[in-house]
Amino acid sequence: MARISYQEKLSRQFNRYIVSIALVLLAALSALLLLHTFFITQFQNLKNNQLLCQQVEEDCLQWENFLRSEESQNTFLSRLRDQCSDNHVSYFVNSFSLERDLEGGLILSDRNGEIVYNSVVHDHTNLHLSYFHSLLAENVIETGTELYDTIYQKTGETGCYVLAVPVYNQNRIRQGVAAVYISGGNWEDEMRQNQFDGVVVGGNDYVLAVSNPGLLDGLMNRFAPEEGGFYSAGGRSYRQTKDAVAKYGLTVFTYQQTGDMLAYYMVLVLAICVLLLALLFTGRTFSHRIADLNARSVETLHEEITTIQDRAGKHRIELHTDDEFETIAEHINTMLDHLDSLNQRNMELARLNNQMERLQLEAQFDPHFLYNTLESIRYGVRLGDKGIDSMILRLTGLLRYSISPAESPVTLEEDLGHLQDYLDIIHYRFQSRFHYSIDIPDNCLSRYCPKLLLQPLVENSVKYGLQCRKTLTVTIRGWEEEGFLCLEVRDDGPGIEPERLEELRALIASGDRQSTHHGLKNVARRLQLQFGSDSTLNLASRPGEGTAVRIRVAHTEGLL
């Protein structure tokens, strides 16, 4: 097989690199264009949709609160009793709408459906509106609803969203119906001010507000586009985002017009082609020059490598060219010193084993606590305990926290939050038999500690303390001392006999990985694995007086 020169090989490789760079550049710029066209446009459309949904919901809520307010109910009742004039009601309604920049009119009817006050249109002979409102008032009275909503629609016009409430007297007897007819003008102004298009529709797809009539595409006053991310109207293509104002049964569509990508692509391809030709023209000349400069260094390096092969790897390359080839020679010499790399490999294996053991230790969770808590929740449900929802939430939060992966320490504040859930569950189970207190200053809360550090200690106190005592008190304290985070869990349980106490201390100190006793040994082992040998766990107890476990956690800087 014919060999090619180093210069020719370098020239070919250089040309490949140029083509590859040009293609990567083309792909990157294309991706950026697509990102801007699709993702950023979609993000802006989602933001606009949220803004419009919020405006729609806020306007409807303000009108709802207006109708339900005590002042409004008294004003409506006074007008139904002929105790105030239309001007008084108009001033009251207009003051509210102008202060909050809302658009809408009020119709007030008595319990027979007769319109008493109308600010929607001033012509009381409008048969369409009168007939519609009489049906609405009849529905409100017959259904007994406290808030009735519907759409008022006339052919060829955008509709009004209608909220209606009954009007009561002092004896809570319905005297009539007050309904506000909300115009979509506010919502159209919101879309125009923020420079986006949208449509707000109600039940039966009736249009309540539209920023650009061209979006309806001849659909008149109904709008029901197909599901999907795109919509076409008037020969234009739009990105479509849809969301619902669920409380009031309204649907909000927002649109962003998509740009024409063909022109962008043509300019982009032309620029890349020009760049590619320029690189190819200059690249071949530079590749030959570089090959000439490096030919001597390559020849020397080749001879030295041949010598290494002849001497079974005992030779070291000596090359002093003050360029990249000298660096290559140094790297080859480094690789020949395999003892250093082997040592690094062994250290990595030890670190991985350390990490696997720590994760295995963190996976422990007392099944008896889970069974007993579920049994307590079952009885609480059967007895109709109103606080049982809180216990279920605390238990699920604690379970999620205990089984979630924790490859790094957590703050004491985070761990205490879940310990509080555990303590509340224990207090719920044992009621007055169990008491606890936590005294940890704020400056300790930001310190780091292993996940589930204190919970196993409290579990031991509860497990062994309540077996022999009618009541148990657990005290949790924390402080900083000489750069260490110090924590103490103390109980007033039966304590531990001296012989058993010495056995437990020996077990903790040994770090026996095969022991079936988790608890204190687990906590002590995790402390050493994550925070170093300076982090310790000490156990103290007196029979009949209680037990105390004290922990010292070293600072995390520079530790695993």
Question: Within this chain, do residues 111 and 222 fall inside the same structural domain, yes or no?
Answer: yes
230 has which bridge partners?
239
**Which residues are CB-contacts of 268 (< 8 A; sequence separation ≥ 6)?**
26, 29, 30, 33
Write out pLDDT tens, residues 365-399: 566 777 778 888 887 788 878 778 888 888 888 88
The total domain count for the chain is: 2
230 shares a domain with 365: no
Q: What is the mean pLDDT of residues 142-168?
A: 86
| 333 in a structural domain | no
User: Looking at the domain assignment, is residue 34 inside a domain?
Assistant: no
Computed on alpha carbons and rounded to an integer, the radius of gyration of the chain in Å comes to 39
Residue with tokens 């969203």: 161
Identity of the residue numbered 165: V
User: Do 233 and 368 fall within a single domain?
Assistant: no
215, 231, 257: which is the final residue of a domain?
A: 257
Task: Indicate whether 132 and 247 sit together in one domain.
Answer: yes
Q: What is the dihedral of CA 171, 172, 173, 179, to 10 degrees?
A: 140
Using the 3D structure, point to which of 257, 277, 299 is the last residue of a domain: 257
Same domain, 407 and 545: yes
Q: What percent of the chain has pLDDT over 90?
A: 29
Examine residue 338 and state whether it is found in any structural domain, yes or no: no
* 226 within domain boundaries: yes
Residue 100 maps to which CATH number?
Answer: 3.30.450.20
Instruction: Say whether both 253 and 366 belong to one domain.
Output: no
Q: Are residues 505 and 379 in the same domain?
A: yes
CA-to-CA distance for 560 and 554, rounded, in angstroms? 11
- Same domain? For 185 and 55 the reply is yes
Q: Which residues pair with 283 in a beta bridge?
A: none
Q: Answer yes or no: is 414 within a domain.
A: yes
pLDDT per residue as tens digits for the range 66-119: 999 999 999 999 999 999 999 999 999 999 988 888 888 999 999 888 899 998
pTM over 0.75: no
Q: Are residues 102 and 241 in the same domain?
A: yes
Report DSSP state, residue 466. T
**The pLDDT of residue 36:** 66
Q: Are residues 241 and 377 in the same domain?
A: no
In a domain, 342, yes or no: no
Instruction: Note whether residue 346 is domain-resident.
Output: no
Are 137 and 253 part of one and the same domain?
Answer: yes
10 Å CB burial of residue 299 (0-12, 13-18, 19+) is: exposed
CA distance 440 to 478: 5
Using the 3D structure, point to which of 213, 234, 257 is the last residue of a domain: 257
Both 511 and 381 in a single domain?
Answer: yes
pLDDT at 407: 56
Q: Quick check: 478 and 485 in contact, CB under 8 A?
A: yes
What domain range includes position 204? 42-257
- Asked whether residue 112 is domain-assigned, the answer is yes
Residue 247 contacts residue 57 (beta carbons within 8 Å): yes
Question: For 303-350, how does the pLDDT look when each residue is reduced to its tens digit (9 = 90+)?
Answer: 667 777 766 556 777 766 666 667 777 777 777 666 445 545 445 434
CATH of the domain at 466: 3.30.565.10
